[in-house]
Amino acid sequence: MVSAQAPIHSGFNARSTADDVIAGLDLSGKTAIVTGGCFGVGLEIARVLASAGAHVVLPTRTPQMARAALGHVAEGAEIESLDLMSPSSIDAFAARFLASGRSLSILVNSADIMGAPPARDARGNESHLSANHLGHFQLAVRLWPALRRASGARVVAVSSGKHQISGVDFDDMNFERRPYDKWVAYGQSKTANALFAVALDARGEQHGIRSFSLHSGTVVSPFARLLSPEIATFGVFEDDGNTFVSEKCDLKTVEEGAATAVWCATSPQLDGSGGVYCENCDIAHMTSAASVAHITHAAPNTGFGVRQWAVDLDLAERLWRSSENLTGARLP
């Protein structure tokens, strides 16, 4: 049964940190994979899971650069090679993990690209769709045996409030006929992340595999400055150029930005639930509001909410079938 898309009043809020939501939990004996786990919010997610006892695997396109960040994660975390836009790299990583015989208790799909210029992967798929959704779809499908072995696993898809920019255009997912817009492409990929969680949860519940999607909050990491001066217009920089954290806007520290993903991955409050979109360490409310102004200036205690197009089961099933066709990956 898919849980109701309505807040459960968890007791946490937009200012809760990842350390707050994991306090008192013991993840000893559990293995977690965190994509995008070597930098920014992903690194904080990995650090906190490791601090609670989980063995953390960090797949990345740049293992050498990632090793410099490993000091922030508990000793014993693994760095692996993975390129989410390369089908052969995904299959090779999954094969290595499965060959180890380990179960996988937590899979956090955190890596993404945002606002990229037009580009395609080797299969001809638009880059946001490829890196943010299709790569993670293929990864989860390939790791399915390890998720089943855990006898209670969670798959967490890091979506975004920017899903409100666009649903999935099933007639032209790869911008072959419509004009390319980098923010529409990003919004479509974030909707795809949420729909992926709905469809995966429908398939995984009987095996004890539950899935969630979420909005982390607006955490302006150093790489976002590469998008300047466009990012500067979002009102996230102080006069001295530093980012700020605002109670009136959806602006968070890295520690706060990691909290909802960690809550989705570990919280007993979500036992028996799945297929829902979360924010501010709670299940999000449904909304029909959709404007970029709302998306960039939402108050943290009310949140963005989630559009129907991101949690609709029929759309999720349609996306799942399309993703199978685009990747060739199918559950065993």
278 in Cβ contact with 264 (< 8 Å): yes
Residues in Cβ contact with 226 at an 8 Å cutoff, skipping those fewer than 6 apart: none
* CB of 115 closer than 8 Å to CB of 182: yes
Strands (E), 127-266: 153-158, 209-215
Alpha-carbon distance of 189 to 7, in angstroms, equals 24
Find out whether 211 and 200 touch, Cβ atoms under 8 Å: yes
Here the contacts of 223-229 (C-beta below 8 Å, separation 24 or greater) are: 223/39, 223/40, 224/114, 227/114, 227/115
H helical segments located in 117-226: 127-128, 135-142, 144-149, 182-204
Q: Which of 202, 331, 207 is nearest to 274 (CA)?
A: 202
* Residues paired with residue 153 on neighbouring β-strands, in sequence order: 209
Q: Pick the catalytic residue: 97, 186, 263, 320?
A: 186
Annotation says 186 is catalytic: yes
Q: In whole angstroms, what separates CA 191 from the centre of its chain?
A: 11
Residues known to be catalytic: 186
